[in-house]
Structure 1
Amino acid sequence: MTRADDRELFKTAYEAWEAKNWVVAGESLERLVQRRPDHRRAGVWWYDAALAYKFLRNWVKAYELGREAAARAKRGKQDPAFWNLGIAATIMEDWATARDAWRGYGLTVPDGDGEIMADFGVTPIRLNPDGGGEVVWARRLCPARAQVLNVPTPESGRRFGEIVVHDGAPNGERTVDGRTYSVFDELLLFRASGLPTTTVEVTAATPEDVRALAALFDEHGYAAEPSSGVRMICACCSESSVAQDSHHAVAGGQRVNLAAPVDEIPALMERWQSAARERRSWTAAAEG
């Protein structure tokens, strides 16, 4: 191939990029950088090729090309090549490469050889962004994974306690008690939860009764999510800034999603009801 061929390949790659034709963009950029590995923009081409495969959710290629991009990036300067490699390496469960990528980006992660299991604080995660796009709270275990703390609605296809890999680019905000948190989109389910979601109908006379139900399940390592805590908003609003009340609870009749072994739910619900039988009642609904 001639330099004219290289220019044509470059044009094809970035025209495909503008059209979001990630297959053509990724393949063309990979061919181009393999032909011109010493070009001054080779690092950019490696990065863009890896990013195209990330958009395609081809994690093997994103990992392979991401290693090349990161090898040409400056460490400790928050270069996104390291972040994208960190995501791909996490999905591939190459923990040594993931640790090195996060450190190359400029983050501090725990030492070790296996899976990164730390506490990077809580953050909102948009589950299944191409579907319902439900936003839940999750605890970050590493820069790219978080464990779901809410009980997602059955329609979301996700469960309490599941670990998801999320993107590093914020897509919206949630403000709670004056503090703003970035919302990150789920990329994939990393580890499923064994706790099914069961929906029950509950009548509670006061908000404190609702909070008592949530506290009871929390004591056992499970979770209860009243429907009064779920807000339905459009995708445009969800991807902007939204204020939330951390103490929100509503009395009355409502559905509650429970994350617990099905055979333990009746006893827990009876315990909750018996503590204030004149104010509390429940009926079984469905398992999800």
Structure 2
Amino acid sequence: MRIFGRVRQRPSTDWRLATNRAFSLIDDGRYEDAGELLTRAADLEPWLSESWFNLALLHKFRHDWEQARAAGLRAVALLEKDAGAPDWWNVGIAATALQDWPLARRAWQAYGLRVPGSGGGWGHRSGPGGSGGASLSASDEPLGMDLGGAAVRLSPDGEAEVVWGRRLDPARIEVLNIPLPSSGRRWGEVVLHDGAPRGERTMTAPGGGGVAGVGAGRTSVYPVFDEIELWAPSSVPTWVVLIEAATQADRDALEQLAADAGYAAEDWSSSVRLLCRACSESRMPSEEGDGLALHDPHDHSVPGHPGPLGHTTAGGLWSPERECGIAAPGSLVRGLLDSWVADSPDSRDWRDLEEVC
């Protein structure tokens, strides 16, 4: 086979040595030194798609998205068979990071995914008054693929935390849990995530349903993706508060009240557990466990924390004092808590409200 007039051969020994050494340096976090070696490898074998794939991968690790896009496009241009190639997935991530929606659509389609709104039609964006304005190609609009639920591991290289979210497209997840403050993330934020899952969560819906996308009594498996970086921040702060809830119904009422206001409350006392790294990266049931590890990472039990899952305590006993996270504006949070107490003052109370993220 000839590529650009050159007979394609196996990579040279120098190429393999430089590439292997580069990935050893990447494992040690020495990205600059690895970049020099991978650039040298690409100079040695510029006809080889792997040369540019490896450079695109390095730039992804460095979050240098312009370079990742450029190297990725050179990689896919040299592919013999492009359908399903991971080179296209890396191009899709880089394009999503850069909000290059036409390229993102092209990448996901080339990988083999069905992408809505890719028929080449034209959309119409109205002006402030609802009429007039510029016409935009549908391919220039952000993707909205709605791929269902999944979990994402925030801060995977630090104090990792697995939260549930809604997949907007193959590279973005909207966070539905209220992350702990140690993650530096907030409810409602959108994070860019990697393509290969690291771990799974299984969940069985209760007899009455209550979990979106899971039929009553059915067990579903959800992938856990690693966060790459924050894609869209949230302006909604995170608060921690100690509540007194005489019953689970009292606690559920606070969560429902926050949801009705367009925000969120989450009983961290029951929805968060600690797992060792090995367990976190394996297939784990999404339910409260009583075997707590002493390290790494936090794991939220329920997608979006709907319904009764994750609300039991060890031995089935209810403890009225709960530590809750609340995602709501400062102008609303105290009024929300006061309204919750006013609905049943004999069984509810709160104290020690603090903004933590």
> If the length of structure 1 is used for normalisation, what is the TM-score?
0.91
Instruction: Quote the RMSD (CA, aligned, Å).
Output: 1.9
Q: Alpha-carbon deviations, 1:147-198, whole Å to 9, x = none?
A: 1101111121000000100001111111111211110000000111000001
CA–CA distance in 2 between the matches of 1:9 and 1:239? Answer: 33
Residue from 69, 81, 86 that aligns with 2:92: 86
CA–CA distance in 2 between the matches of 1:26 and 1:68? Answer: 16
Moved over 4 A (4+): none
CA–CA distance in 2 between the matches of 1:229 and 1:65? Answer: 42
CA contact (8 A) 1:75 1:106 kept: no
- Figure out how many residues of one structure are paired with residues of the other and give that number: 280
Deviates more, 1:101-110 or 1:52-61: 52-61
CA–CA distance in 2 between the matches of 1:126 and 1:255? Answer: 22
Distance 1:24 1:261, change over 3 A: same
CA–CA distance in 2 between the matches of 1:25 and 1:224? Answer: 44
Is 2:42 the counterpart of 1:33?
yes
Is 2:236 the counterpart of 1:236?
no
CA contact (8 A) 1:127 1:156 kept: yes
Unmatched runs of 5 consecutive residues or more in structure 1:
1-5
Deviation of the 1:7 alpha carbon: 4.3
Deviates more, 1:83-92 or 1:231-240: 231-240
Is 2:246 the counterpart of 1:205?
yes
State percent identity of aligned pairs: 40
CA contact (8 A) 1:175 1:241 kept: yes
Deviation of the 1:59 alpha carbon: 2.1
Is 2:18 the counterpart of 1:12?
yes
Q: Alpha-carbon deviations, 1:194-248, whole Å to 9, x = none?
A: 0000111101111121111111111111000112211112222211121113512
Is 2:150 the counterpart of 1:144?
no
CA contact (8 A) 1:138 1:147 kept: yes
Please give the secondary structure, in 2, of the residue aligned with 1:213: helix
CA contact (8 A) 1:12 1:28 kept: yes
Unmatched runs of 5 consecutive residues or more in structure 2:
1-11, 118-137, 205-218, 288-301, 303-308, 313-317
Alignment of 1:1-288 (within 5 A): 7-20=13-26, 21-38=30-47, 42-73=48-79, 77-111=83-117, 112=138, 113-177=140-204, 178-227=219-268, 228-245=270-287, 246=302, 247-250=309-312, 251=318, 252-288=320-356
Distance 1:280 1:76, change over 3 A: farther
Please give the secondary structure, in 2, of the residue aligned with 1:152: coil
CA–CA distance in 1 between the matches of 2:63 and 2:259? Answer: 35
CA contact (8 A) 2:190 2:232 kept: yes
Equivalent residue number for residue 3 of structure 1: none
Deviation of the 1:75 alpha carbon: 6.3
Deviation of the 1:26 alpha carbon: 3.6
Structure 2 residue identity aligned to 1:37: P
CA–CA distance in 1 between the matches of 2:338 and 2:38? Answer: 62
Distance 1:134 1:189, change over 3 A: same
Structure 2 residue identity aligned to 1:45: S
Q: Alpha-carbon deviations, 1:119-152, whole Å to 9, x = none?
A: 1111101011111111101111111001110111
Distance 1:37 1:19, change over 3 A: closer
Deviation of the 1:61 alpha carbon: 1.7
